[in-house]
Amino acid sequence: MHPSPRRPSRSSPPNTRPPRPTGSSRESSYSAVRSLDAVTVTEGADAAGGAGSAGFTVTVGDFDGPFDLLLTLIGKHELDITEVSLSLVTSEFIAYLRTLDTQDELNEASEFLVVAATLLDLKVAGLLPQGELVDAEDVALLEARDLLFARLLQYRAFKEASAWFDERLTAESGRTVRSVRLEEKFRASTPELVWTLSPDDFAALAAVALAPKELPTVGLDHLHAPLVSIREQAATVVALLRRGEPMTFRQLIAGAEQKGVIIARFLAVLELYRSAAISFEQIEPLGELTVQWTAEHWSDENLANLGADYGN
């Protein structure tokens, strides 16, 4: 069925149509429609193609044809949106959906919602009173309508792209992959394997592969610092303090390059203090520690027993 849109009669009374917005409101109302003219279908082949394709058709007012073409004619100002009963269109579409299966129903409903929302917005714009729009909410509505038209253009672009993909898939559906065995002449052309190794060579390779390997030895010397004797460090501290002059702990560890030596000398100071061989003074917490020799009798036997609790 070819669409047969009928334009309104020129002899109709001039005041039968609702007033249209003028000035900037009219320009904003139809700015998106003028953009739509550049990408919508033409009145020739595209319109005929839309009529011939299966889909929802509507008969309302001055229009009889595919639903998509209704929006196209309104965009080209060939049909007055105020003369289209959208409630009747919706009722016909709901009845049409009941004849479809689930998948087709979802696709058709998605397309109908886009087009119907655009038609409804156009009709609201056509029924606005005359005069300039100064209300901020009305301006926001016009901006929202322009955004709706932009989305409609995007929808049409995707729809045309999907139609192109469907056409290509249909055209290539007749092709199939050839799945047969390799021809005998090609199978026979495979070169035979030529061995270049003797049985003795294979035996030598097997002997190397099966020979037991020594387990790697991992050294632990780098994991532990060398042990430092507390007795040896205590002897050094005793020799420094028996000179008679008080010394700070910083002076006692002067020249010690390893942390283990510093720790051993600190433990030696504690052992000497426990043996009542020295006294120390620290004026403030974490301040400088001053050590002084106080033992009157000291022998090598006392030094030999020093550090017995630490095992060195």
250: CATH: 1.10.10.580
C-alpha 142: how far from its chain's center? 35
pLDDT tens string, the chain, 312 residues long: the values are 444 444 333 333 333 334 444 434 444 344 333 333 333 333 333 333 333 335 677 676 666 777 666 666 666 656 666 666 777 777 777 777 777 776 666 777 777 777 777 777 777 766 665 555 456 666 676 677 777 777 777 888 888 889 899 999 998 888 887 777 878 877 777 677 777 888 899 999 999 999 998 888 877 766 665 677 888 888 888 888 888 788 888 888 888 888 888 888 898 888 888 888 888 888 888 888 888 888 877 777 777 777 666 666
CA-CA distance, 29 to 151, in Å (whole number)?
A: 16
Q: Do 156 and 251 reside in the same domain of the chain?
A: no
Q: Do 135 and 265 reside in the same domain of the chain?
A: no
Please give the angle made by the CA atoms of 110, 78 and 5, to the nearest 5 degrees.
Answer: 75
| Domain contains 171 | no
Q: Do 29 and 151 reside in the same domain of the chain?
A: yes
Domain termination site, one of 119, 137, 164? 164
SS3 of 273-304: the string is: HHCCCEEEEECCCCCCEEEEECCCCCCHHHHH
| Domain contains 182 | no
Q: Can you give the pLDDT at residue 49?
A: 36
- How many CA atoms does the CB half-sphere of 144 hold within 13 Å? 13
Q: Among all chains, which residue has been given the structure tokens 């049985």?
A: 199
Provide the domain count of the chain. 2
Q: Do 158 and 240 reside in the same domain of the chain?
A: no
Domain termination site, one of 121, 143, 164? 164
pTM over 0.75: no
Structural domain for 98, as ranges: 23-164
Q: Can you give the pLDDT at residue 312?
A: 60
| Domain contains 50 | yes
Residue 170: phi and psi, rounded to 5, are -65, -40
